[in-house]
């Protein structure tokens, strides 16, 4: 057990200093892709085949968008999030890659340390894509509370009005009121999240010509595990394959 002298204030200084330096020691493999493409599920599959995975959204208790709050799971404080993040990083072997999702500077109300954000954007991401039907199915499974309350979902997206326009918001409200859940999910992804992903990728990673792209024909567990094994091999082999 590590013992740090100096009390809480000294501990916090140590956490902050560690988060400024530790991310630079890792090789990050970043999964990118628009919402609903199975990034989080692929991270889980990578962990299953023995890869080192940093699930920032799990640590933050948030899926990282206006609708990303998890019912019944409040976000930790920034200080506790920093502690959880440092604890996760200290368990990784710097000789082996660490897989994570591309994230913006904030996940919900929590700030990603600048050194980690910079480190994850110093590499070319792996771009995931999946059929819209699979993405809608994933949203149904991951956001059951919005299946039950689609109008509540649209209310949370109201701040997007200056970006997508009033007519688009009205179209979402109409689909929500009529209970056309699949059409609502698809339209929100196609009209907002997909263009937003394209813009943010260009801004964060620059030109992506020649970047690795992975098309997921489905988001089933079997498919994700097969893709995870292939990615693990390309990254130097999985613990599962060595067992």
Domain CATH code at residue 43: 3.40.50
- The answer to the question of residue 243 being in a domain is no
Give yes or no for residue 185 having a pLDDT over 70: yes
Residue 211 lies in domain: 10-230
Q: Give pLDDT, residue 242.
A: 40
DSSP for the chain?
----TTHHHHHHHHHHHHHHHGGGGS-EEEEE--TTS-HHHHHHHHHHTT-EE--HHHHHTB-SSTT-BBTTBPPPPHHHHHHHHHHHHHTS-TTS-EEEE---SEETTEEPPHHHHHHHTSSPPEEEE--HHHHHHHHHHH-HHHHH-HHHHHHHTGGGHHHH-HHHHHHHHHHHHHT-HHHHHHHHIIIIIHHHHHHHHHHHH---TT--EEE-S---HHHHHHHHHHHHHHTT--HHHH-
- The answer to the question of residue 121 being in a domain is yes
Task: Quick: pLDDT tens for 68-89.
Answer: 999 999 999 999 999 999 999 9
Report how many domains make up the chain: 1
| Percent of residues, the chain, with pLDDT higher than 90 | 82
- The answer to the question of residue 38 being in a domain is yes
Q: Is the pTM of this model over 0.85?
A: yes
Q: Give pLDDT, residue 211.
A: 82
Q: Give pLDDT, residue 241.
A: 41
- The answer to the question of residue 235 being in a domain is no
- The answer to the question of residue 101 being in a domain is yes
């Amino acid at each position: 057990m590590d013992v740090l002298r100096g009390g809480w204030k000294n501990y916090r200084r140590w956490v902050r200093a560690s988060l400024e330096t530790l991310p630079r020691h890792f090789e990050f493999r970043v999964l990118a892709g628009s919402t609903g493409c199975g990034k989080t599920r692929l991270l889980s599959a990578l962990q299953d085949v023995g890869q080192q995975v940093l699930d920032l959204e799990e640590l933050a208790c948030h899926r990282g968008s206006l609708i990303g709050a998890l019912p019944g799971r409040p976000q930790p404080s920034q200080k506790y999030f920093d502690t959880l993040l440092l604890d996760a990083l200290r368990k990784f072997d710097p000789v082996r890659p660490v897989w994570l999702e591309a994230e913006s500077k904030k996940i919900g109300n929590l700030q990603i340390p600048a050194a980690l954000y910079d480190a994850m954007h110093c590499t070319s991401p792996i771009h995931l894509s999946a059929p819209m039907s699979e993405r809608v199915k994933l949203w149904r499974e991951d956001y059951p509370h919005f299946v039950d309350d689609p109008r509540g979902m649209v209310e949370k997206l109201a701040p997007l009005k200056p970006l997508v326009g009033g007519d688009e918001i009205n179209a979402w409200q109409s689909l929500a009121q009529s209970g056309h859940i699949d059409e609502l999910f698809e339209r929100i992804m196609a009209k907002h999240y997909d263009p937003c992903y394209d813009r943010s990728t260009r801004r964060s990673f620059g030109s992506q010509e020649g970047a690795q792209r992975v098309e997921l024909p489905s988001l089933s567990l079997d498919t994700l595990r097969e893709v995870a094994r292939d990615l693990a091999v390309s990254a130097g082999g999985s613990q599962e394959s060595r067992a």
